[in-house]
Amino acid sequence: MNKQTNYSKAVKQGILDWVEDRFGGRVIRVEQVIRWRPIWRVDFDKGGVLHSLAFKGPRDGNVIPYPVEHEYRMLQVLRDNGMPVPTVHGVCEFPSAVVMDWMPGGRDPGMVGMAAEDESRMSDERWAASLEYMDWLATMHRIEPRKFVAAGLEMPVTAEDIALNGFERFYRLGRDKGIVDPFMDFCAAWLRRNVPDRERVAFVTGDCCQFLSEGDKVTALLDVEIGYLGDPLSDLACFLGRHPVENLGDIPALFRRYEQASGEAIDLEALAYQTVVFMAVAFYFPVLTLPVTQPGGDWVESQIQVAFCGRRCAEAMAGIIDVDLEHSMSLPAPAATPLEDMALAKLEEEIAHMPTTEYFQPWKRDMVAKLPAWLTNQLHYGRWAEQQDLDDAEKLLGHRPDNRAEADKALSRFVLEAGPEQDADLVRFFHRRTLRECHICVGPDAPTEHLIFARFEPVTDL
């Protein structure tokens, strides 16, 4: 019996013990569901009545700057203030998880790869619920911030604190882990130089638009594990960042509903800035997850998110500083790697026929099965992408680094010393780099309308 099965059995036993100790019921089902983070649905019987719980664990590898207890405290404050969030019952030690009611309703999984295969759709009922969600979002933003300070959050004071409270936590986490990423260093420098003068502070989810609905009604607001005190426009920026991976419908109409519910006009320039903040974090989060080797998680989806979110972050920035970007690009002829191709084809076939079990569900096998195809594309086009990167880096640095790792170190030093006169060239550089990565993710002959190439919609078009 392998280590993963042993661990999964231990997790199930930990859940059984917690439920029995806390509720005294008989557990009927423990099922892990498909999400970025480990989440288990747990059904138990007590006195002939069926109850359902969600055990929501932290993301593997310490890749968010908050402990699991953070979400527990935020949900308590939100529920105490009338928000439609699940009732929380405590924090399980093993598996580490916030335990809450399992709420009825559905939503989009929000994954690029899945949306590319099965287009996200907006039904009339989901649209009606989306409009209601804007009312709840405005209500949440009116909750007195000091109630969250009492639950452990820090109150931002300066305009820079308000604008970058969430971003700076992720950036520090990456630096503490020793990650060298010149694009994130450039984002940090640019964002700090261009902070809008705003004083409004509210609790924000950090990753908005996540709610369950049943029919045309919102049943629950979810996922506040990275919630913080900051500019409420950061939540609105999520709509621009998540669409069209999740079809959120008519974004301007949603924003008009928010303005009606909040009684405040949206500052479009400040919103444009917050879209860069959101996309920078959306790019950096999967960068943090890629080195994690623990079983579980969707490694290829993380790599797709790095390319997709990074490119759209550059596009959001380009829209603000009025930089034209070149979007046309195609892959060259693939490098010849016949032996490696055969080995990876064999691996792909073996994975496709691996037996599934209670602890290794088909969707987990499907995630692993994507790795050989990605590796094949990397073998065919990775060297080309690196040489293109080095060509572009040489124009910026004045010398040609030996490889991409050395280029990244040199570029990180360069962007932290560069002034605004270098912004246009750097935005174009990082856009070309991430666009190449998008092409490698999907491989040759990808249609131009493929979701991974969906451009960021400028805020000025709203």
Q: What's residue 76's pLDDT?
A: 98
Count of CA atoms in the C-beta half-sphere (13 A) of 394: 11
Beta bridge partners, 40, equal 32, 55
Residues of the chain with CATH 3.30.200.20: 3-101
pLDDT at 1 over 50: no
pLDDT tens profile 353-364 = 999 988 888 989
Q: What is the pLDDT of residue 256?
A: 97
pLDDT confidence bin for 8, thresholds 50/70/90: confident
Q: How far apart are CA 11 and CA 289, in angstroms?
A: 22
Q: How far apart are CA 356 and CA 31, in angstroms?
A: 14
Backbone angles phi, psi at 30, to 5 degrees: -130, 115
Q: What is the mean pLDDT of residues 113-123?
A: 71
The span from the CA of 152 to the CA of 170, in Å, is 18
First to last CA, the chain: 56
Q: What one-character DSSP code corresponds to residue 294?
A: S
The residues that bridge with 394 in the sheet, in sequence order, are none
Residue-wise pLDDT tens digits, 397-438: 999 999 999 999 999 999 999 999 999 999 999 999 999 999
Q: Tokens 């619920």 map to which residue? A: 129
Distance of CA 88 to the CA centre of its chain: 23
Q: How far is CA 333 from CA 49, 329, 384, 426, 446, in A?
A: 62, 13, 10, 28, 14
129 close to 137: Cβ distance less than 8 angstroms: no
Statement: residue 461 has pLDDT above 70: no
Residues sharing a CB contact under 8 Å with residue 374, sequence separation 6 or more, in sequence order: 300, 303, 441
Contact 220, 136 (CB under 8 A): no
Average confidence score pLDDT of the chain: 93
pLDDT at residue 25, rounded to an integer? 84
Low-confidence winner among 31-35, 115-119, 311-315 (lowest mean pLDDT) = 115-119
Measured between alpha carbons, how far is 317 from 298 in angstroms, rounded to an integer? 28
Q: Residue 282 is encoded by which pair of tokens?
A: 């959306």
Are the beta carbons of 187 and 280 closer than 8 angstroms? yes
- What is the pTM for the complete model shown? 0.94
Residue 319 is predicted with a pLDDT of 95
CA distance 131 to 136: 9
**Over the stretch 63-92, which tens digit does the pLDDT of each residue have?**
899 999 999 999 999 999 999 999 999 999
Cross-strand bridge partners of residue 26: 45
Q: What is the pLDDT of residues 248-296, one digit of tens each?
A: 999 999 999 999 999 999 999 999 999 999 999 999 999 999 998 887 7
Percent of the chain surpassing pLDDT 90: 84
Closest C-alpha among 328, 102, 111, 310 to residue 220: 102
Pairwise CA distance, residues 227 & 434, whole Å? 28
Which helix (H) or strand (E) segment holds residue 419: the answer is none
Is 107 a residue whose pLDDT tops 80? no
CATH of domain 3-101: 3.30.200.20
Taking CA atoms, 308 is separated from 176, 266, 282, 453, in Å, by 25, 27, 9, 8
CA separation for the pair 456, 317 (Å, rounded): 10
| Residue 375 neighbours by CB under 8 Å, 6+ apart | 344
Torsion sign over Cα 359, 363, 366, 371 = negative
- Position 116 scores a pLDDT of 64
Burial of 265 (0-12, 13-18, 19+ CB in 10 A): exposed
